[in-house]
Amino acid sequence: MQSAEIVESVVKRFSRVAMGIDAGFGVWTGNRCAEYIGYGDVLDAMPTVALESFVGVGNPASFAALAEGDRVLDVGCGAGLDALVAAAAVGPDGEVTGVDITPVMIERACEAAAAAPWASVTFLVADAAEHLPFDDGSFDVVQSNGCLNLSPHKRELLAEVHRVLRPGGRLALCDAVLKADKAAEVTADPDNWSL
């Protein structure tokens, strides 16, 4: 299986989520998923559009030790919920940037940012495994929620994350891990890469 086929399958499935079409996920999405993960009261301040298209496996901001003024990058930001949770934590002196490979997700994230009270959030389309359009050492924190498992180029993606993180910066990663004995069987089907 070609990695281009995997990437296409991922973008197709997350575009469906962003458009509110049943994407055939075996897991909860949207508000129900966020509540199950346990984000708590912070969800009350989040725009509906960010919640509706949320798909995640954890809450990276809950252990990223975010401080006021931090510069944060969210890799695979989807419709922006995790990035906005980070924006609430870093305050007006901080900056949050979200990147996602799925253009419709970035459209949703921009809508969410426009509806949110935090000005210091920007979103752009980028494939984090190809190139992150930032200088070396640009961020104090990189966070990601359920993105790394979707990429057939994990080593390249992590190398880009390492490059844009400042020395001594922090990585807060929530992701899904495949048990070794199932790896060949599961990864042979491109649809499984986007579940």
Ligand X SMILES: C[S@@+](CC[C@H](N)C(=O)[O-])C[C@H]1O[C@@H](n2cnc3c(N)ncnc32)[C@H](O)[C@@H]1O
Question: Contact with ligand X (CB under 6 A): which of 29, 37, 82, 90?
Answer: 82
Angular region, 83: left φ>0, alpha ψ -120 to 50, beta rest: alpha
Give yes or no for residue 95 binding ligand X (CB under 6 A). Answer: no
Give yes or no for residue 190 binding ligand X (CB under 6 A). Answer: no
CA distances from 80 to 18, 34, 178, 181, 188 (A): 11, 12, 26, 34, 30
Give yes or no for residue 101 binding ligand X (CB under 6 A). Answer: yes
CB closer to ligand X, 81 vs 173: 81
Give yes or no for residue 113 binding ligand X (CB under 6 A). Answer: no
How far is Cα 134 from Cα 183, in angstroms, rounded to an integer?
Answer: 33
How far is Cα 30 from Cα 16, in angstroms, rounded to an integer?
Answer: 13
Retrieve residue 45's tokens.
């301040």
Question: Contact with ligand X (CB under 6 A): which of 9, 29, 56, 169?
Answer: 56
By CB under 6 A, which span of 40-48, 142-150, 163-171, 179-187 interacts with ligand X? 142-150
The rounded radius of gyration (Å) of the Cα atoms in the chain is 16
Q: How far is the CB of 14 from ligand X (least distance, A)?
A: 4
CB closer to ligand X, 10 vs 142: 10
Give yes or no for residue 87 binding ligand X (CB under 6 A). Answer: no
CA atoms lying within 13 Å on the CB side of residue 183: 7
3-class secondary structure, 142? strand
By CB under 6 A, which span of 24-32, 62-70, 122-130, 159-167 interacts with ligand X? 122-130
DSSP string over 152-184: S-HHHHHHHHHHHEEEEEEEEEE-----GGGHH
Give yes or no for residue 77 binding ligand X (CB under 6 A). Answer: yes
Site of interaction with ligand X (CB under 6 A): 10, 14, 54-56, 76-79, 81-82, 99-102, 105, 127-129, 145-147, 150-151, 157
